[in-house]
């Protein structure tokens, strides 16, 4: 999957408070892993955030190896915008 870095940051900033922790808990990863996925600069143990950045407009294009974190974030946003 490919999106712009700007789109990724927009998704992150649209998430309700506590979503990073919620995603981390659900996936049983630490919160910093989730923050890194959304573009944080702190890479623990030299681990990649799960995407590759290609230079371009809007911060460049991200190619994701695994979209699990992004998919959960989108689910949270969808539920926030359209509660059952």
**Which tens digit of pLDDT belongs to each residue from 45-82?**
555 567 778 888 888 888 888 899 999 999 999 988 77
**Interatomic CA distance for residues 32 and 20, integer angstroms:** 9
Average pLDDT over residues 14-19: 95
Task: State the pLDDT at residue 41.
Answer: 63
pLDDT value at residue 76: 95
Quick one: which H or E segment has residue 18? none
Give the C-alpha distances (Å, rounded to integers) separating 81 from 33, 44, 66, 76, 78.
Answer: 26, 33, 25, 9, 5
Confidence band, pLDDT 50/70/90 cuts, at residue 24: very high
């Amino acid at each position: 999957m490919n999106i712009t870095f700007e789109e990724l940051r927009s998704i992150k900033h649209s998430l309700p408070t506590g979503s990073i922790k919620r995603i981390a808990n659900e996936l049983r990863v630490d919160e910093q892993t989730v923050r890194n996925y959304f573009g944080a600069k702190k890479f623990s143990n030299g681990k990649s955030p799960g995407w590759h950045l290609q230079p371009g407009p809007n911060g460049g294009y991200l190619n994701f190896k695994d979209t699990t974190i992004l998919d959960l974030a989108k689910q949270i946003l969808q539920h926030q915008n359209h509660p059952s």
